[in-house]
Amino acid sequence: MKAGTKVKITKVGAVAGAKYRTASKEEYDPGMDNGVVSPPVDYEVRGTLAGDVILGQPILIERTHRNGLPVRGGMVTSRVTCISFKDNGVFVTTGNSQYLLVEE
């Protein structure tokens, strides 16, 4: 996917052996410094890609919504390790998480 594309990115899984463990929904506070944990599964962000999705680089998103609520800001993932194209979007694995990106 290219910079400037409007997307929805949803965390669909954690990566075995990740540097940062995936937090539970109960312990994760969006918008706060959550220390050294990764967002929970089902965490969702909508916005515009600030850069191309490229192997070896983090995904950068200019956020407009977080978990269905309008919240401006940004999202940065860990570095992309795998990209695969599916019928329902682009499946991306990073150093910590698995995401589904869907163009909006």
Parse the chain into domains and list their residue ranges: 6-103
Spacing of C-alpha 42 from chain mean position: 10
Phi-psi region of 93 (alpha: psi -120 to 50; beta: other; left: phi over 0): beta
Rounded Cα distance between 71 and 20, Å, is: 24
Q: What is the pLDDT of residue 32?
A: 79
For the segment 31-41, what is each residue's pLDDT rounded down to a tens digit? 778 888 889 99
pLDDT, tens digit, 9 for 90 and up, residues 4-27: 999 999 999 999 999 889 999 888
pLDDT in tens, 35-74: 888 899 999 999 999 999 999 999 999 999 999 999 999 9
At residue 91's C-alpha, the angle toward residues 13 and 72, to 5°, is: 80
